[in-house]
Chain A
């Protein structure tokens, strides 16, 4: 672990950027049609409840990351195995997000550029950022968050002033009842992006003021959820529920519709900036968690040494993970959610919390 500290404000910034990461640009929860905003908000509530589980675990072990305290909770053998699983999980998610990102870039701007080279540039930047450490990443985040917000507000004003928002597209609310919404919540929005907060279990030990972690995280998640819900609602309002559910990048389609004063049009670069900045921070945090987890697990004193090799692995994995984009998306929805997200984000942390709580109660009674 590095000997650096980040403030609660910086944690907040990292959470916002992480949550917006790819969720802002991918068709998040679009199977809920015009109720997608509702699905996101419910996912957010579920995510905050999950975070409280991670937070309790963090308060039991405030100085060590997830991969270390699992060894305290369930013993060195199972603990090491589970820590290994989590490390691989983080690296796998890093390469998944990297693939997402590369595919997005490939389809909308660089159809003739090989995926490998687009991903390579990204992972090199990520490696540089992770090499500089979490503190530098957090500071970079502070700068870019402001920029991103200015961009988002500018885009919002443009969408409205271009007269694109048709609120009737959002009606009727709950046309098919609650069932499809809940289905989307429990298969998509709960895990991505809110359940992915598990990665912050690796970041919390760097906080200089643990008391403020809860507040910063909940506000950060809440704000992200509201922002994402507004964005998706605008997408639906502009494009209509049918188009949104068929679109690969609803936000891009929305931005492409902007046409103001015969001059402000084709603002794809807005989308690209949002995509790259968000993608960068999401990949960086996953990769950072993976690198720190691996260095803890294998007793590597200086985690910088692992960056090159693991970065290369993530790059190769991101290309090898699926043959094409549809396969990648299908994996994401059918396999990763059920076999990875559900156990690793929900079931195991809850079990860990129960065991840790029993252990602590037992320990306290003894002493």
Chain B
């Protein structure tokens, strides 16, 4: 029957497109046991994989008299070939078997005594066999045994650990996540060397069968949130996930918002810090971007260096970043409102200068601003997508032609160019790209409102935006917490960053049970006055 299934598969391949099954997904491997005849098994593997040349099938003989045939199957490039040859193939082929064994005993002998790899187990189902094979394990089949050995020999080429590209820190670790799930999780394990760092893996994507792992610290993370994450991940029923953005969009609380409710990062230290605050991290094979939930608004203004450098500069930088966010949000809208409706609010010499510049400009301020903003967005998009070498050309065109010549030609006023430039620089200075993008979209809405109602429009726009922000939740946690609802104990890590010894509590709404982060009396004191400090030093919360 099984063989028939194999042949059927072959027929379908010949038929081509009509052979696709009803659901539009790739053919599911049926839940059937492995056959006992080796040749038949090899045939089925061949047919199922379409004789792909990277599926290596290595036949060899084992046994006292070398009479029992066996085969080893692995995917070239997914396994560590040196490992396979040295610790699997060589012992199996060179081993001397003292007595003649039955195939069943031989099978167990091979598992227990010959295969010199860490993880090895028996499997009996085809579906399991193909899953393991495709994830980089080596399969050993023996003639006469309806079972297979599966040895973990994962390996192959990956990008090396490099400095993260998107979140650069002057002070801080230089390692960033790679595309390998295992390397990524090991980077966290090295930072949090604690058995309570728990991990669960699952496969998502019917076709891609992508490995996804969730990680949290048992006892710190809120169980309800962990359950919620698992439930939302298990709900996903999709053919493929190629990047963590797929997962993000499938598990976020609200789709119709420009604000990100899932945090993503390339930095292991950021993930470790978030795990220690009670959050849950979602890793995925094939992307260096790790998701962190639940996310709150203020998190997108926190850079890792805030915690590494001293609190005074960190606080100043936090304020600066919030200011930057507002500048990138309302700068063009303010220009439009001030020049169209509220000229009296600009100091007189400046308003005369602006009016003189705008005299030659044929468009109303709104059109002027819109033209410049759209031009800038085009330049930016071109700069991101173009190859590096061409990128310089774009920046020259942007700076000279559009910046200078547009003013000289009388398309826009130079004040407008300044406003657009400030907005552009501000939107690049936001530490998390995700929040800069939402500011980028809302900016245009605010420009329209400013053109219609001046400052009134801008304030109403900000008001609606704030109401919207306050109504958002990320995995049940209010998005604006700890600002609204205000939690005084957690205020120290919002617009301010209090000294490290004053970080007493974890975020109350995220880690609900185990909130104490450090002992009392952590403030450094000059020698001679620290009588009570020593007793607390060994304590961990």
- A: which residues have CB within 8 A of B? 7, 9-10, 105, 109-110, 113, 118, 121-122, 125, 128-129, 132-133, 136-144, 263, 265-266, 268-269, 272-273, 276-277, 280
Contacts and interface: CB of A to CB of B under 8 A. Distances in A.
A263 B484 contact: no
Given A121-B460, A125-B467, 8 more contacts: A109-B341, A121-B453, A139-B470, A140-B466, A142-B483, A143-B483, A266-B345, A272-B456
26 contacts: A7-B485, A109-B341, A109-B454, A109-B455, A109-B456, A113-B453, A121-B453, A125-B460, A128-B464, A136-B471, A139-B470, A139-B484, A141-B484, A142-B484, A142-B485, A143-B483, A143-B484, A144-B466, A265-B347, A268-B342, A268-B344, A268-B345, A273-B459, A276-B456, A276-B459, A280-B463
Contacts of A280: 463
Interface in B318-376: 341-342, 344-345, 347
Contacts of B541: none
B480 A276 contact: no
B484 A105 contact: no
A105 B457 CA distance: 12
A276 B460 contact: yes
Contact of B347 (A121, A139, A144, A263): A263
Interface string B452-496: 011111011001101110110000001010011110000000000
Contacts of B347: 263, 265
Nearest to A262: B347
Nearest to B488: A9
Interface string B24-42: 0000000000000000000
A109 B483 contact: no
A132 B467 contact: yes
Nearest to B345: A266
Contacts of B341: 109-110
A139 B297 CA distance: 14
Contacts of B342: 109, 268-269
Chain B CB count within 10 A is highest, among A105, A129, A139, for A139
Given A113-B453, A143-B480, A263-B347, A272 B459 contact: yes
Contact of A139 (B453, B463, B464, B478): B478
Contacts of A132: 467-468, 470-471
A35 B459 CA distance: 34
B485 A139 contact: yes
Nearest to B486: A142
A277 B463 contact: yes
B480 A118 contact: no
A140 B456 contact: no
A9 B482 CA distance: 13
A129 B457 contact: no
Contacts of B484: 139-143
B190 to A, nearest CB: 39
A143 B466 contact: yes
Contacts of B468: 132
Contacts of B463: 125, 140, 276-277, 280
A312 to B, nearest CB: 18
Contacts of A277: 459, 463
B488 to A, nearest CB: 9
Contacts of B464: 125, 128
A235 to B, nearest CB: 21
B457 to A, nearest CB: 7
B345 A269 contact: yes
A111 B453 CA distance: 12
B401 to A, nearest CB: 36
A269 B471 CA distance: 27
Give 8 closest A-B pairs by Cβ, nearest first: A139-B484, A139-B470, A142-B484, A136-B471, A132-B471, A140-B470, A136-B470, A143-B484
A106 B81 CA distance: 79
Given A142-B486, A263-B347, A269-B455, A129 B460 contact: no
B327 to A, nearest CB: 16
Given A125-B464, A263-B347, A268-B345, A118 B453 contact: yes
B230 to A, nearest CB: 26
A280 B460 CA distance: 9
Nearest to B472: A136
B242 to A, nearest CB: 35
Given A128-B467, A276-B463, A10 B455 contact: no
Task: Point out which of B457, B460, B464, B467 has the most chain A C-beta atoms below 10 A from its C-beta.
Answer: B467
A209 to B, nearest CB: 13
A129 B467 contact: yes
B335 to A, nearest CB: 14
A121 B457 contact: yes
A10 B532 CA distance: 39
Contacts of B480: 139, 143
Contacts of A133: 471
B383 to A, nearest CB: 35
B181 to A, nearest CB: 38
Contacts of A136: 467, 470-471
A49 to B, nearest CB: 30
Nearest to B466: A140
B480 to A, nearest CB: 6
Contacts of A263: 347
B84 to A, nearest CB: 58
Contacts of B459: 272-273, 276-277
A69 B459 CA distance: 38
A166 to B, nearest CB: 26
Contact of A105 (B345, B456, B467, B470): B456
A140 B486 contact: no
B457 A140 contact: no
A118 B456 contact: yes
Contacts of A9: 485-486
A9 B467 CA distance: 18
A125 B484 CA distance: 19
A110 to B, nearest CB: 7
Nearest to B337: A269
Given A9-B486, A144-B466, A122 B460 contact: yes
